[in-house]
C-alpha cells in the first residue's frame, strides 16, 4: 500500500530565507526544517526506535555502505525491508554510500563506472556504482533515496573539484535512470562543486535538467569550517528549485543547524548528538556540558531545568556524572536521548518562529542563551 501515496512538499511559510513546511511521504509527514538522527547500522546507537520517535523525530537516516556490508541489503530485503527490520515505521532516508566509500574503505579505485573498494570490516572486495547503489536502496526499501556521487575532501584544487563535480553529475543521470518509476518513493540529487559558486551553479543546472524530487547540498562539513560552509550556503540553496526540499548532508552542531536554516535549508542529519551522548558531551540551551567533569559529582540539579527529556526530568547531574564515570550503559542511553530531544526542540522552535515571522528574534535568543555558558557550580 505504500506505493499508492505520492511524495510531495508543501511550503507553508518563509521568514527571510528560512522556510517551514511539510514533506508528505507514504509512511508519514516530515515537518521541516527537519533534523534526521543517524541510524547507521539500522539503529540509532543507545536508543530504542520508539524512544527516537518520542524525541520528536519524523525521519531517520540509514547508511547504505554499512548495511550493504553487514547484514547485506539482500538479507534485509528477505526479512521484510529496513522499516520492519529495525522496527521504525516512519520515513527513512538512505544515503548512497559514496561518502563512506571515500572516507572509510581501503584501496579504493575510482573509475567512470564506479568505485571498487575493500570493506573496512573484513577486507572483502566490493564494487559500487550508481546502478548498484539504487539497487541496494531499493532492497532496503527507504522512502528517500540519494543518488550516487563522489565527495572530494576539502581543501581541493579547482581541477579536482571540477572533475569530481562533472563525474557526480554523470552519475546523477545514471542514478535517475536506474531508479526508474517508483511511486511513493523519492530520489534526491546532490549538488557538488566545493566552495566554488560557479561550479555549484553548473551542478545545480545539471540536476535541474535531470529533475529530482529533492536536492541536497553535498560536499560540505568535510573539514572546511563553519565560515566557509556558511559562505557557500549564502548562495547554494538559492541555486536549487524553490518548490523542492533542500537537504544539507552531515550537519551538524546546533549553531550550524540554525545558520543553515537561516540560509534556506530544510533537512539535515548528523551523528553528533548520539556520538557525543556516548562520550559525555551534552548539548543544552546554555551551551555544551561535559558531564565527565568533577564539578558535577555532587550537583543535584538537572542538566537543563527547561528540558522535558527523561535525563533531565528524572536524574541529577550527579547521577549522570556517576554512571558515565562508571561506564554504565544507561549513561549513553540517557545522554543520547537528551541530545536528540534538544536537537528536535531546536527544530520545533525554528518551525514555530518561521511560521510567525519571528525567526530573527528566536535566533537572537538562541545565541544569547548559549553565550551565557553553563549554570554556575553548586
Return all residues near 368 (Cβ < 8 A) that are at least 6 apart: none
pLDDT for position 107:
65
Note if 95 is an active site residue.
Answer: yes
* Cell numbers representing residue 124 in the block: 572483502
The overall average pLDDT reported for the chain is 96
pLDDT reading at 154 higher than 90: no
> What is the Cα–Cα distance from 238 to 255, expressed in whole angstroms?
21
Residue whose grid cell is 530573527? 360
Q: Which helix (H) or strand (E) holds 271?
A: none
Q: How confident is the model at residue 39 (pLDDT cuts 50, 70, 90)?
A: very high
Residue whose grid cell is 541496494? 136
Mean pLDDT to the nearest integer, 35-42: 97
pLDDT for position 368:
98
Closest residue by Cα to residue 83 from 24, 142, 146? 142
pLDDT for position 265:
98
Q: Is 97 known as a binding-site position? A: yes
Residue whose grid cell is 528477505? 78
Share of the chain above pLDDT 70, in %: 98
Rounded to two decimals, the pTM is 0.97
Closest residue by Cα to residue 166 from 135, 194, 138? 194
| Contact by Cβ (8 Å): 90, 60 | yes
- How would you classify the pairing of strands 115-118 and 125-128? antiparallel
Domains annotated on the chain, with CATH: 2-270 (3.20.20.105), 277-369 (no CATH)
Mean pLDDT to the nearest integer, 4-11: 88
Q: Is 219 known as a binding-site position? A: yes
pLDDT for position 106:
61
What are 229-283's pLDDT values in tens digits? 999 999 999 999 999 999 999 999 999 999 999 999 999 999 999 999 999 999 9
Q: Which helix (H) or strand (E) holds 191?
A: strand 186-191
What are 280-293's pLDDT values in tens digits? 999 999 999 999 99
pLDDT reading at 151 higher than 90: no
Phi, psi at 79, each rounded to 5°: -90, 10
> What is the Cα–Cα distance from 99 to 115, expressed in whole angstroms?
11
Catalytic position from the list 213, 269, 299, 304: 269
Catalytic position from the list 15, 58, 95, 213: 95
Note if 269 is an active site residue.
Answer: yes
Amino acid at each position: 500500500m505504500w506505493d499508492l501515496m505520492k511524495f510531495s512538499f508543501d511550503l507553508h511559510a518563509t521568514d527571510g530565507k528560512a522556510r517551514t513546511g511539510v514533506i508528505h511521504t507514504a509512511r508519514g509527514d516530515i515537518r521541516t526544517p527537519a533534523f534526521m538522527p543517524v541510524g547507521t547500522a539500522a539503529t540509532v546507537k543507545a536508543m530504542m526506535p520508539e524512544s527516537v520517535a518520542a524525541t520528536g523525530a519524523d525521519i531517520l537516516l540509514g547508511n547504505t555502505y554499512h548495511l550493504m556490508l553487514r547484514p547485506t541489503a539482500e538479507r534485509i530485503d528477505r526479512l521484510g525491508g529496513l522499516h520492519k527490520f529495525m522496527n521504525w515505521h516512519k520515513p527513512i532516508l538512505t544515503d548512497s554510500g559514496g561518502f563512506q566509500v571515500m572516507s572509510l574503505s581501503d584501496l579504493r579505485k575510482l573509475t567512470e563506472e564506479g568505485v571498487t573498494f575493500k570493506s573496512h570490516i573484513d577486507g572483502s572486495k566490493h564494487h559500487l556504482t550508481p546502478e548498484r547503489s539504487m539497487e541496494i536502496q531499493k532492497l532496503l526499501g527507504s522512502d528517500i533515496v540519494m543518488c550516487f556521487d563522489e565527495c572530494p575532501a576539502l581543501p581541493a584544487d579547482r581541477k579536482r573539484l571540477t572533475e569530481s563535480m562533472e563525474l557526480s553529475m554523470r552519475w546523477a543521470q545514471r542514478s535517475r535512470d536506474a531508479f526508474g518509476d517508483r511511486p511513493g518513493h523519492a530520489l534526491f540529487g546532490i549538488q557538488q562543486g566545493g566552495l566554488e559558486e560557479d561550479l555549484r551553479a553548473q551542478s545545480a543546472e545539471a540536476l535541474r535538467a535531470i529533475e529530482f524530487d529533492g536536492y541536497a547540498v553535498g560536499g560540505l562539513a568535510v573539514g572546511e569550517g563553519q565560515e566557509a560552509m556558511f559562505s557557500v550556503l549564502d548562495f547554494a540553496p538559492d541555486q536549487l528549485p524553490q518548490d523542492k526540499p533542500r537537504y544539507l548532508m552531515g550537519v551538524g552542531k546546533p549553531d550550524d543547524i540554525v545558520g543553515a536554516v537561516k540560509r534556506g535549508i530544510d533537512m539535515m542529519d548528523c551523528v553528533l548528538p548520539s556520538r557525543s551522548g556516548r562520550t559525555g558531551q551534552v548539548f543544552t540551551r546554555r551551551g555544551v556540558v561535559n558531564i565527565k567533569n568533577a564539578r558535577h559529582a555532587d550537583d543535584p540539579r538537572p542538566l537543563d531545568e527547561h528540558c522535558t527529556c527523561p535525563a533531565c526530568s528524572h536524574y541529577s547531574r550527579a547521577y549522570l556524572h556517576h554512571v558515565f564515570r562508571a561506564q554504565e550503559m544507561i549513561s549513553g542511553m540517557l545522554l543520547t536521548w537528551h541530545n536528540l530531544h534538544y536537537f528536535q526542540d531546536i527544530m520545533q522552535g525554528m518551525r514555530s518562529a518561521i511560521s510567525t515571522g519571528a525567526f530573527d528574534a528566536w535566533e537572537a535568543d538562541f545565541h544569547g542563551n548559549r553565550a551565557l555558558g553553563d549554570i554556575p557550580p553548586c
